[in-house]
Chain A
C-alpha cells in the first residue's frame, strides 16, 4: 500500500519482557524507599523521574513503541508535549497571580456576591441583592447550595 509501511510484527524474546518487568518492580521498590526520605524539593523531582522512567519502559517495550513505525512514537510524544503545554501555560497564570499587583493575587473578598448565592440565582436577583450582601456577614458554606440548582429544576 504505502511506501513507508513497516507493519511486520516484531517478536521480542520473553527475557526482554521479564527483564523490563523486573526493572519496573525495582523502580517501584525505589519509589517506596525514596518516599520515606526527606529530600526537600527533590522529593517531587525524584518521584517524577522514577514515574516517567517506568511509564517510558511500559510504552517502549510492552507497547512496542521502540520497534514500531517511528510515526507512532512522534504521535505519542506530541500528545504528551501538548498536555505539558496546557499545564505549563495554565500554571503561568495560576502561579504568578499577584506578582505585579499584589491585590490581584488575593482571594475575592469574603463579602463578595459570589459567596452569597441565593438558592437559584437569576442575574436579576443577584444584582438586586448586591447592596445588601456586600455588607452582610457571610457564611461561605452557602456556596454548597449549588447542588440544589441543577438542570432538573426546569
Chain B
C-alpha cells in the first residue's frame, strides 16, 4: 500500500496521546472500544469461571464444592454476569465501537463524549452488580422472577439497580450508533453500500433504544415492590406475578437479538472475506436484520407457555415465534450460498464463522421446537432449554464474537496471533462446547430440570460427560488468553489489510491513527466487490520460507 511510507511517521491510536489519563478521559471510539473489550473480557472470565465451578459441582449428584444455596447464587451470578455484563455489550459496545466509524469512513462516532459516558455508566452499573455478591448474592436466577425475587432475603435491589444502570449504557451506545450510521457515512456510501456489519449494528441499536427502557421500568417496579410493597406483581394485593414476566420478556426477548444480530453482522463480513466472493443476497441479509429486530418484539410470550398465561395468548405467541425462523433462515442460506463455489480459505475467523453456522443452526432449530406449544410443556425448564440457549448465545454469539476478535485483532493491535494455536484452540472449544451442551439436550429430553443442585443417579453419566466438556471448554479459553496475550506483546507485525478484505476499515493504517484516516475517505468500491477488485492480503503475501506463517496455513 502507498501508505506504507507514512506508517512510521504517524503514531497509532495506541501510542498517542500517552498516559493513563489520556485513556480514562479519551473520546476516541477506538480506545473506548478497547476499554470495553477489557471490561467485558474480565467479566467473561469471571462468568466462565463460575460456569466451570457449577459444572464441577454437577459432576456427581452429591455435594462436591458447595451447598445448595451457594449453588443457587452461583448460577444466578453466572447468568446475570454473562448476560448483562458480557454478552449484551460484547459485540456492539466493544467490537462495534471500534469498527463502526472505521467501516463508515468516519473520524469518530456522532457523540464521542456520550460514548465515553456509556463506558463509565457501564462500570458504575457493574460495581452495583459486583457489590450484590458481597451484600448477599442473589439467588433468583438472572430473570428475577416474582414472587420469589420480592421475598428472598438476598440483595436483589443491588443487582437490579446495577442492571438498571447498565441499561442506560446500552441505550447510550444504541442511540450513538443510530445517529452515526445516519449521519457519518462517507461520501458515496448509500444505505445499500454499507457493510452488513453496520446493518447488524443498526438493527441492534434500534432494539437497544426501543426495548431497554422497558427493562428499566420493570426493574424499578420490582424494587418498588420490594421496598414499598406496591403490589403490582402480588396477587394478594390485586397484582399479577405473570405481569412481571410480560414486562421482563418484552425487553429480554428482543435482548436476545441484541446479542445475536451484531454477531450475524460479523459472520457476514467474515464469510464474504474468506470466501473471496461477493456476498450472496446483500439486500435480503440487510432487510432480514431489520426483520428479526421487528419480529423479536412480538414473540416474548413463548417464555411463558407454562406460567399461567392464557391459552389464547400462548397460541398467538407460538404462532408468531415461528416467524423468527424466516429471516434467520434467509441469512443462513445466503451465507452458505456465498460460500458455495467460493475460494474459501480457512483462517481462524473463518473457522469460527463455520462453527457459528453449525452451532447456530442447532440452536435455532431447537428454538423452533421449544416454540411449539405441546412440546414446550414437556421441555420447559429442563436442560433442553439450557442447551438451546447456550447453542444460540454461546454457539452463536460467542463464536461470532471470537470470529470478530480474530478478524479485527490485527487491526486493533497491529499484530498477528499464532494461527496454529488459534486453530487448535478453535477445535478444543468446538469439541468442549458440544460435549458440554449436546449432552444437555439429551438430559433435558429425559426430564432433567434446570437450576437443580442435585439429580437422580440415572442422569450421572451425561452430567459427568457435560462437566468434562466444560473443563475442555475452560482449557480452550485459557489457551486463547495465552496466545492472544503473547500476540499483543510480541506477535508478528500485521500490515494494513491482512485478509484482503474490501471494507474500509482495512484501508487505513494498522493500527489506525488517532483520527482513523490520514485523509478523507470516499467510496470507490462496494464492501463486497470481490468480483471487481482484487486485493491480496498481507497475511498471504509472505515468502514461503516464513515458518511461523506457513505453520498456520498448512
Listed in ascending order, the chain A residues whose CB lies under 8 Å from chain B are 1-2, 71, 78-79, 82, 85-86, 89-90, 92-101, 104-105, 107-108, 114-115, 117, 120-123, 140, 142-144, 146-147, 149-151, 153-154
Q: A70 to B150: give the CA distance in the assembly, Å.
A: 44
Which of B155, B297, B304 has a CB less than 8 Å from the CB of A82? B297
Q: Are B227 and A150 in contact (CB under 8 A)?
A: yes
Q: Are A85 and B155 in contact (CB under 8 A)?
A: no
CB distance from A8 to the nearest CB of B (A): 17
Which of A86, A100, A115, A147 has a CB less than 8 Å from the CB of B236? A115
* B310-318, B348-356, B416-424 - interface stretch: B310-318
Q: Which residues of A contact B297 (CB under 8 A)?
A: 82, 85-86
Q: Which residues of A contact B242 (CB under 8 A)?
A: 93-94
CB distance from B548 to the nearest CB of A (A): 46
Name the residue on A nearest B309 (C-beta).
A93
Q: Are B136 and A101 in contact (CB under 8 A)?
A: no
Q: A43 to B337: give the CA distance in the assembly, Å.
A: 58
Is residue B301 within 8 Å, beta carbon to beta carbon, of the partner chain? Answer: yes
Q: Are B153 and A94 in contact (CB under 8 A)?
A: no
Tell me the residues in window 463-488 of chain B with beta carbons closer than 8 Å to chain A beta carbons: none
Q: A120 to B312: give the CA distance in the assembly, Å.
A: 36
Do A90 and B243 contact each other (CB < 8 Å), given the known contacts A1-B183, A2-B183, A107-B235? yes
Q: Given contacts A96-B310, A97-B309, A149-B153, could you give 8 more A-B pairs where the C-beta distance is less than 8 Å?
A: A2-B183, A86-B214, A89-B317, A93-B312, A121-B152, A143-B236, A150-B157, A151-B157
Q: Are A86 and B250 in contact (CB under 8 A)?
A: yes
Q: Are A2 and B182 in contact (CB under 8 A)?
A: yes
**Per-position binary interface string of chain B over residues 306-333, scored 1 when its CB falls under 8 Å from any chain A CB and 0 otherwise:** 0011111100110000000000000000
Tell me the residues in window 272-317 of chain B with beta carbons closer than 8 Å to chain A beta carbons: 297-298, 300-301, 304, 308-313, 316-317
Q: Are B210 and A79 in contact (CB under 8 A)?
A: yes
Name the residue on A nearest B211 (C-beta).
A82
Listed residue (B136, B229, B310, B311) with the most chain A CB atoms within 10 angstroms of its CB: B310
Q: Are B312 and A114 in contact (CB under 8 A)?
A: no
Q: Which residues of B contact A115 (CB under 8 A)?
A: 235-236
Which of A90, A100, A150 has a CB less than 8 Å from the CB of B312? A100
Q: Are B313 and A146 in contact (CB under 8 A)?
A: no
Do A151 and B151 contact each other (CB < 8 Å), given the known contacts A99-B311, A144-B229, A146-B226? no
Q: Which residues of B contact A97 (CB under 8 A)?
A: 308-310
Is residue B6 within 8 Å, beta carbon to beta carbon, of the partner chain? Answer: no
Q: Are A122 and B310 in contact (CB under 8 A)?
A: no
Q: Are A89 and B135 in contact (CB under 8 A)?
A: no
Consensus secondary structure, chain B interface: helix
Which of A104, A150, A154 has a CB less than 8 Å from the CB of B311? A104
**Per-position binary interface string of chain B over residues 154-172, scored 1 when its CB falls under 8 Å from any chain A CB and 0 otherwise:** 1111100000000000000
Q: Are A140 and B236 in contact (CB under 8 A)?
A: yes
Q: Which residues of B contact A150 (CB under 8 A)?
A: 157, 226-227
Do A153 and B237 contact each other (CB < 8 Å), given the known contacts A96-B313, A114-B147? no
Consensus secondary structure, chain A interface: helix
Is residue B108 within 8 Å, beta carbon to beta carbon, of the partner chain? Answer: no
Q: A152 to B290: give the CA distance in the assembly, Å.
A: 44
Q: Which residues of A contact B250 (CB under 8 A)?
A: 86, 90
CB distance from A125 to the nearest CB of B (A): 11
Q: Which residues of A contact B183 (CB under 8 A)?
A: 1-2
Q: Which residues of B contact A147 (CB under 8 A)?
A: 227-229
Q: A102 to B225: give the CA distance in the assembly, Å.
A: 29
Q: List 14 A-B contacts (CB under 8 A).
A: A82-B297, A89-B316, A89-B317, A93-B301, A96-B311, A97-B308, A99-B311, A114-B235, A122-B153, A142-B236, A144-B236, A146-B234, A150-B226, A154-B155
Listed residue (B147, B308, B313) with the most chain A CB atoms within 10 angstroms of its CB: B313
Could you say which interface size class chain B belongs to?
35 or more
CB distance from A117 to the nearest CB of B (A): 6
Is residue B240 within 8 Å, beta carbon to beta carbon, of the partner chain? Answer: yes
Q: Which residues of B contact A100 (CB under 8 A)?
A: 310-312
CB distance from B247 to the nearest CB of A (A): 8
Q: Which residues of A contact B358 (CB under 8 A)?
A: none
Tell me the residues in window 324-374 of chain B with beta carbons closer than 8 Å to chain A beta carbons: none
CB distance from B75 to the nearest CB of A (A): 14
Name the residue on B nearest A115 (C-beta).
B236
Is residue B452 within 8 Å, beta carbon to beta carbon, of the partner chain? Answer: no
Tell me the residues in window 104-140 of chain B with beta carbons closer than 8 Å to chain A beta carbons: 135-136
Q: Are A121 and B151 in contact (CB under 8 A)?
A: yes
Do A154 and B153 contact each other (CB < 8 Å), given the known contacts A93-B242, A146-B226? yes
Is residue B246 within 8 Å, beta carbon to beta carbon, of the partner chain? Answer: yes
Name the residue on B nearest A148 (C-beta).
B229
Name the residue on B nearest A146 (C-beta).
B229
Which of A79, A92, A142 has a CB less than 8 Å from the CB of B313? A92
Q: Which residues of B contact A98 (CB under 8 A)?
A: 310
Is residue B192 within 8 Å, beta carbon to beta carbon, of the partner chain? Answer: no
Name the residue on B nearest A108 (C-beta).
B235
Name the residue on A nearest B147 (C-beta).
A114
Q: A2 to B308: give the CA distance in the assembly, Å.
A: 51
Is residue B540 within 8 Å, beta carbon to beta carbon, of the partner chain? Answer: no
Do A149 and B151 contact each other (CB < 8 Å), given the known contacts A93-B242, A143-B237? yes
Q: A144 to B229: give the CA distance in the assembly, Å.
A: 7
Do A151 and B136 contact each other (CB < 8 Å), given the known contacts A82-B297, A99-B312? yes
Listed residue (A79, A90, A97, A120) with the most chain B CB atoms within 10 angstroms of its CB: A90
Q: Which residues of A contact B229 (CB under 8 A)?
A: 144, 146-147
Q: Which residues of A contact B300 (CB under 8 A)?
A: 89
Which of A79, A93, A142 has a CB less than 8 Å from the CB of B246? A93
Q: Are B301 and A99 in contact (CB under 8 A)?
A: no
Name the residue on A nearest B137 (C-beta).
A154
